[in-house]
C-alpha cells in the first residue's frame, strides 16, 4: 500500500513533467487543479424493503474542451480523492490521443456483486437523475462511459433515464459504451484491450528500445503476465496472444496461475467460468497469493485491474522488463521511481489504455450525426474497386484468382473503420510521446514525456481560446 493520496500521485507526475515546459506557474496550476466535484448521497430501497444510503461522485477535472468525458465505476473503494485523480488522468489521456474532450470521472460506492439487477437499475437511474438535475451530464456537457464494475447494461439505463428527463434531439450522446441497439458502436467493448495491444506492439517493434532492455524486437514470443481478467485484461491478453505473444501467467482475486511455456487464454477463461476460479487450470502451476502474480518471470507485465498495485514494497521484485499499464494508476508514484531506476520500461496508462475513450469518441460522433459509419460510402467503394479491378483484368490481360475481386473490393464496415481509427490513434500517440522522450536525449521516461505532451496540448487550447494568451 501507499500513503500518498492518488490525486497527489498524479500531480507529482504532472509537476515532474511541468519542469520541462515553460508555462507560467498560474497556467500550470489551472491545468492541474480539479474544476468541479459533485457529491451526492441518495436513498436506495433494497429488494427486502430496507433502505440504504448510497454515496456517489462525479468529478470534472477540466472543461477546457467540452464535453468532459470519463467512466463511472462501481466500487466500495470509491472516494473523492480517487474520482479527482481519475478525472485528471482522463484530461491528460484525451489530450495525448487528440480526443477533443475535457476529463471527468464518476463513482458510486457499492460492490455491484452484492446487489440484484433491479437494485442496480434503481440506483443507476437515481444517480443519473441526480447528475441530470445538477447538469453533470449531457451530450455537450459531460459524457460518462463504463469503467470498473459497470458496462453496457448500466450505460443503457443512464441513456434511458437521461433521455426521459432531457427530451433533446442528441440525448443519446449523453453516455457512451452503450449496447449496440441503444446507439452503441461496434468494437467499443474490446476497445481498451485492443488499444493496449496496439501500444505494446508498437513499443516492441522499436528495435532501439528493445535492445536497451536486452530484448529482441517484435511481439512474437514475448512472455506476458496479466493482472485482472475483466473486460480490459481479458481483451488485452487475447489480442496480445493473437499477435504472437505468449501468455504465461494470469492473476486475479483468488490467486494466480503460471506456466512458463504459456497457455491458451480462452481455455483459461472457460476453466474459470466452469469452476469459478483460475486455480486448478490443467498444465499451470497455482500460486495461492495473488500478489505473487505480479512478480512472475516474464517480459511484459500488464496490470489491468485497479490503481496502486505495484508499490515501493513489491517493485524491487517485479521481474518484467516492460510494464504496460492497462489499468489507471496501477504503479504508485514511488514505485515508478524505483522501476525507472531499474531500467524497466513503463508504457503509461495516460495513453496505453486510451482505446476506450477513443472509441467512445467515435460513438459520440456517431450519435450526434445519427448515422452509422460506413453507411454512405461502402457500396459505392465496392462498386468502384470492382470496376477498377475488372478494368485491369480486361485491359492488362491478367486474371485474378476466383474470389480476389470480391475480397479486395469489400467496403469498410463500421467495425473496420473503428478499429482502423483506434490503431492509428494509439500508434500516433505512442510515437508522439516517444519523440518527446527522444528530444530529451532519451533520458526522460515515457510517463513524463506523456505528461509533457498533455500539458502542451491543454495549454495550447487555453491560448487558442484567448484565455491566458
Ligand atoms: N473508463 C474508461 C477510461 O478510463 C473509458 C472512458 C470513456 O470512454 O469515456 O478511459
Looking at the structure, do residues 162 and 268 belong to the same domain, yes or no? no
* Distance separating alpha carbons of residues 214 and 438, to the nearest angstrom: 19
Looking at the structure, do residues 153 and 266 belong to the same domain, yes or no? no
Q: How much distance in Å is there from the Cα of 362 to the middle of ligand 1?
A: 13
Tens digit of pLDDT for each residue in 94-105? 999 999 999 999
Per annotation, catalytic residue among 65, 105, 222, 457: 105
- Residue 465 — very low, low, confident or very high, per pLDDT cuts 50/70/90? confident
Cβ-based burial of 380 (10 A; exposed 0-12, middle 13-18, buried ≥19): exposed
pLDDT at residue 1, rounded to an integer: 60
Residue finishing a domain among 309, 333, 352: 352
Q: What is the CATH number of the domain that holds 269?
A: 3.40.50.720
Atom 7 of ligand 1: nearest residue by CA position? 357
Looking at the structure, do residues 150 and 254 belong to the same domain, yes or no? no
Among the listed residues 275, 292, 290, 205, the one whose alpha carbon sits nearest the alpha carbon of residue 244: 205
pLDDT above 90 for 288: no
Looking at the structure, do residues 207 and 279 belong to the same domain, yes or no? yes
Looking at the structure, do residues 54 and 139 belong to the same domain, yes or no? yes
C-alpha to C-alpha distances, 405 to 395, 400, 413, nearest whole angstrom: 15, 7, 17
Number of domains in the chain: 2
- Ligand 1 test: best mutation among 61, 88, 145, 184, most atoms within 8 Å of CB? 145
Give the 3-state secondary structure of residue 93: helix
pLDDT at residue 206, rounded to an integer: 97
147 lines ligand 1 (CB under 6 A): yes
* Distance separating alpha carbons of residues 282 and 286, to the nearest angstrom: 10
Averaged pLDDT, 216-231: 97
* Distance separating alpha carbons of residues 369 and 372, to the nearest angstrom: 8
Angle, CA of 326, 328 and 272, to the nearest 5°:
50
Looking at the structure, do residues 139 and 284 belong to the same domain, yes or no? no
- Residue 126 pairs with which residues in a beta bridge? none
- Residue 150 — very low, low, confident or very high, per pLDDT cuts 50/70/90? very high
pLDDT above 80 for 69: yes
Is residue 196 within 8 Å of residue 302, measured between CB atoms? Answer: yes
**Residue 414: CA count within 13 A, CB half-sphere:** 16
Cell of 459: 495549454
Tens digit of pLDDT for each residue in 25-41? 999 999 999 999 999 99
DSSP conformational letter for 228: -
DSSP conformational letter for 49: S
Q: How much distance in Å is there from the Cα of 208 to the middle of ligand 1?
A: 32
Residue finishing a domain among 326, 352, 378: 352
pLDDT at residue 467, rounded to an integer: 72
- Residue 227 pairs with which residues in a beta bridge? 251, 303
pLDDT above 90 for 281: yes
In a domain, 308, yes or no: yes
Tens digit of pLDDT for each residue in 409-454? 988 999 999 999 999 999 999 999 999 999 997 679 999 999 999 9
pLDDT at residue 227, rounded to an integer: 97
Among the listed residues 138, 121, 132, the one whose alpha carbon sits nearest the alpha carbon of residue 175: 138
* Distance separating alpha carbons of residues 158 and 15, to the nearest angstrom: 36
Tens digit of pLDDT for each residue in 3-24? 899 999 999 999 999 999 999 9
Ligand 1 atom nearest to CA at 146: 1
Backbone angles phi, psi at 224, to 5 degrees: -130, 135
Looking at the structure, do residues 260 and 330 belong to the same domain, yes or no? yes
pLDDT at residue 283, rounded to an integer: 81
List, in sequence order, the alpha helices (H) in 46-166: 80-96, 117-133, 152-166
- The mean pLDDT value of the chain amounts to 96
Q: What is the CATH number of the domain that holds 148?
A: 3.40.50.10860
Tens digit of pLDDT for each residue in 250-269? 999 999 999 999 999 999 99
* Distance separating alpha carbons of residues 100 and 86, to the nearest angstrom: 17
Residue finishing a domain among 352, 382, 409: 352
Tens digit of pLDDT for each residue in 359-405? 999 999 999 999 999 999 999 999 999 999 999 999 998 999 999 99
Q: For residue 280, what are the domain limits?
A: 191-352
C-alpha to C-alpha distances, 47 to 41, 44, 122, 253, nearest whole angstrom: 19, 10, 11, 28
Q: How much distance in Å is there from the Cα of 145 to the middle of ligand 1?
A: 6
Looking at the structure, do residues 159 and 204 belong to the same domain, yes or no? no
- Residue 72 pairs with which residues in a beta bridge? 106, 146
- Residue 290 — very low, low, confident or very high, per pLDDT cuts 50/70/90? confident
Catalytic-residue membership of 178: no
Cβ-based burial of 111 (10 A; exposed 0-12, middle 13-18, buried ≥19): exposed
Amino acid at each position: 500500500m501507499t500513503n500518498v493520496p492518488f490525486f497527489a500521485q498524479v500531480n507529482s507526475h504532472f509537476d515532474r513533467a511541468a519542469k520541462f515546459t515553460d508555462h507560467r506557474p498560474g497556467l500550470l496550476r489551472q491545468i492541474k487543479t480539479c474544476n468541479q466535484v459533485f457529491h451526492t448521497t441518495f436513498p436506495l430501497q433494497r429488494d427486502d424493503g430496507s433502505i440504504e444510503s448510497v454515496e456517489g461522485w462525479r468529478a470534472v477535472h477540466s472543461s477546457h474542451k467540452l464535453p468532459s468525458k470519463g467512466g463511472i465505476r462501481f466500487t466500495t473503494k470509491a472516494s473523492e480523492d480517487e474520482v479527482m485523480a481519475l478525472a485528471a488522468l482522463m484530461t491528460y489521456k484525451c489530450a495525448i490521443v487528440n480526443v477533443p474532450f475535457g476529463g471527468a470521472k464518476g463513482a458510486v460506492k457499492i460492490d455491484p456483486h452484492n446487489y440484484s439487477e433491479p437494485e442496480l437499475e434503481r440506483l443507476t437511474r437515481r444517480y443519473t437523475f441526480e447528475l441530470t438535475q445538477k447538469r453533470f451530464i449531457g451530450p455537450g456537457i459531460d459524457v460518462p462511459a463504463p469503467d470498473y464494475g459497470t458496462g453496457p447494461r448500466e450505460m443503457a439505463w443512464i441513456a434511458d433515464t437521461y433521455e426521459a428527463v432531457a427530451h433533446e434531439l442528441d440525448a443519446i450522446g449523453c453516455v457512451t459504451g452503450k449496447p449496440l441497439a441503444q446507439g452503441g458502436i461496434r468494437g467499443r467493448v474490446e476497445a481498451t484491450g485492443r488499444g493496449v495491444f496496439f501500444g505494446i506492439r508498437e513499443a516492441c517493434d522499436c528495435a532501439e528500445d528493445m535492445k536497451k532492455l536486452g530484448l529482441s524486437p517484435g511481439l512474437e514470443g514475448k512472455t506476458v503476465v496479466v493482472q485482472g481478467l475483466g473486460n480490459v485484461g481479458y481483451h488485452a491478453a487475447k489480442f496480445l496472444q493473437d499477435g504472437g505473444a505468449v501468455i504465461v501467467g494470469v492473476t486475479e482475486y483468488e490467486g494466480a496461475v503460471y506456466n512458463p511455456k504459456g497457455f491458451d487464454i480462452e481455455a483459461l477463461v472457460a476453466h474459470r467460468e466452469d469452476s469459478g476460479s483460475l486455480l486448478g487450470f490443467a498444465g499451470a502451476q497455482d500460486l495461492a497469493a495473488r500478489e505473487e502474480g505480479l512478480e512472475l518471470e516474464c517480459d511484459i507485465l500488464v496490470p489491468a485491474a485497479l490503481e496502486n498495485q505495484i508499490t515501493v514494497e513489491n517493485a524491487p521484485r517485479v521481474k518484467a522488463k516492460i510494464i504496460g499499464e492497462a489499468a489507471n494508476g496501477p504503479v504508485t508514484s514511488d514505485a515508478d521511481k524505483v522501476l525507472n531506476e531499474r531500467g524497466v520500461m513503463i508504457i503509461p496508462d495516460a495513453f496505453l489504455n486510451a482505446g476506450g475513450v477513443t472509441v467512445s469518441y467515435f460513438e459520440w460522433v456517431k450519435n450526434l450525426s445519427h448515422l452509422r459509419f460506413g453507411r454512405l460510402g461502402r457500396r459505392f467503394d465496392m462498386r468502384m474497386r470492382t470496376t477498377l479491378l475488372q478494368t485491369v483484368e480486361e485491359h492488362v490481360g491478367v486474371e485474378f484468382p476466383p474470389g480476389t475481386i470480391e475480397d479486395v473490393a469489400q467496403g469498410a464496415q463500421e467495425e473496420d473503420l473503428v478499429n482502423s481509427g483506434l490503431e492509428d490513434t494509439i500508434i500516433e500517440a505512442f510515437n508522439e510521446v516517444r519523440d518527446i522522450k527522444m528530444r530529451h536525449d532519451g533520458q526522460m521516461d515515457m510517463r513524463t514525456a506523456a505528461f509533457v505532451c498533455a500539458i502542451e496540448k491543454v495549454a495550447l487550447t487555453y491560448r487558442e481560446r484567448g484565455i491566458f494568451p
